[in-house]
Structure 1
Amino acid sequence: MKNNPDNFFVKDPQKLKLYDMCMELNKLVYQHVKQFPWIEEKNMKIQAIKSISSIGANLCEGNGQIYPAKELTFLNNSLGSAQESRYWYDLARVNSYITEEQFKTADDLLQAVILILIKMMKNLKNQGVA
C-alpha cells in the first residue's frame, strides 16, 4: 500500500466500539483494585491499572496515526497489554482479591477486546500494511 499524501485523513478513535469497551475496562479495574489489600498498593494495583489503561491509550495513539504501519504497531501494543491484563486479573482471582463473577466480567470483556484488536490488525494486513 503506497502512502499518498492526498489520502491522509484524521481518524477519531472515540467513534470505535473498541474505545467504549476500553473505557468500560478502565471503570472496572478502578473498582476492582479498591478491594486489593494494602500490600498490593504499589504492586499489582498499579500494574493492573497501567496494563488496562494502556490498551485504550495505544488504540488511540495508533488509530490517530497517519501511517497504517504505525497503527498496526500500536494495535499490537494494545494486544500485548490486553493479554497482560488477563494475567493480572487471573492473579487477583487466584489470590481472592476479586470474586469469580468480577473475574469473569473482566475476562470476557478482555477476550472480546482481544478479538477486535486481532480483527483490526488482520484488516490492516489485508490492506498490504507490513
Structure 2
Amino acid sequence: MESFQKLQVYQLSEKIANEVWFIVQNWDLFSKDTVGKQLVRSADSIGANIAEGHGRYNSQDNQRFVKIARGSLNETRHWLRLACARHLLTAEQVDKLQPLLDELSPKLNAYLNSLKKLKG
C-alpha cells in the first residue's frame, strides 16, 4: 500500500493547512484566539483524517475518515468565509487559497470513489 504522504489529495491538504497556518500567525491575539484556532484546526484536520483513514487498512474505515476530511474541508471554508467577512484575509490570500480549496474538493471525492471500488 502506498504511503499516505505520496497521495496527491494528502499533499494538497497539507499545502492548504500550511498556508492557513502562516496566514493566521500574523493575526492579532483576539482574532487568533477566536477564528484563527478554529480555522487552523479544521484545515489541519483534513490531512490528519486522510492519514488516519489510510492507516486503517480497511476500505470502509478509510472511507469514513475521508468523509470526515470532506467535512473538515467544508468547516475550513466556513471559517475562511468568516475571516473574509471580518476583514482578516487580504485579497491576495483569498486568491491563493481559493484555487487550492477548489482543487481539493473533487480530489477528495475521487479518492473516496476509488476506495469504494476496493474490497475490504
TM-score, length basis structure 1: 0.83
2:107 and 2:57 map into 1 onto residues whose CA distance is 21
Higher helix residue share: 2
What is the one-letter code of the residue matched to 1:100? Answer: A
Partner of 1:51: 42
Q: Residue 38 of structure 1 aligns with which residue? A: 29
1:40-79 aligned at under 5 Å gives the runs 40-79=31-70
Letter in 2 for 1:36: W
* Structure 1 unmatched runs, 5+: 1-9
* Corresponding residue number in structure 2 for 1:107: 98
SS in 2 for 1:118: helix
The answer to whether the Cα contact below 8 Å between 2:59 and 2:119 also exists between their aligned partners in 1 is no
Does the CA contact (< 8 Å) of 2:14 and 2:47 recur in 1? yes
Distance 1:40 1:31 in 2: 14
- Are the counterparts in 2 of residues 30 and 49 from structure 1 also a CA contact under 8 Å? yes
Number of paired residues?
A: 120
Shift of 1:19: 2.0
User: What TM-score do you get using the length of structure 2 for normalisation?
Assistant: 0.89
Q: Does residue 93 of structure 1 match 2:64?
A: no
C-alpha separation in 1, matches of 2:93 and 2:11: 19
Runs (4+) of structure 1 exceeding 4 A deviation are none
Give the root-mean-square deviation of aligned CA atoms: 1.7
The yes-or-no answer on 1:118 pairing with 2:109 is yes
Work out which of the two has the higher radius of gyration on C-alpha atoms and give 1 or 2: 1
In structure 1, the residue corresponding to 2:89 is in which secondary structure?
coil
